[in-house]
Amino acid sequence: MKKNLYKKYPQIIIDGTWAPPLADVKTITEQVRLKRDEIEKSDILWVGLGMPKQEELISMIEDFNISKIGVGAVFEWVAETKKQAPVVIQKIGFEWLFRLLTEPKRLWKRYFFDFIYLLQFPFNYRKKM
């Protein structure tokens, strides 16, 4: 993935990469907290754990002094391990449908339950405040 980024954006500066082992969000958060000083030297933390893990992690490290972005499948597209939807489909907002049609067994449950999760997220966040 780094090679592809450097090829496309020669001036990019990548401070570091880390692919955590498959684990629950709490375990990943603990590992990320151990790397806090290293992480905060960068400008942006790109989190690609899939939903809802990446959103939960970002919420758990909201005190980090860095911009955090949940990027989902972007890493797969940059690494060229998954095909991205045609631009026309992206522009009309149906990339999610393209992904569902190309990977139905893997994504149908995720999209169904993530939709339910997303409906609850703003209310749960508001309760925290």
pLDDT over 70 at 128, yes or no:
no
pLDDT over 80 at 111, yes or no:
no
CA distances from 12 to 6, 9, 16, 109 (A): 7, 6, 12, 36
pTM, 2 dp: 0.69
pLDDT over 70 at 37, yes or no:
yes
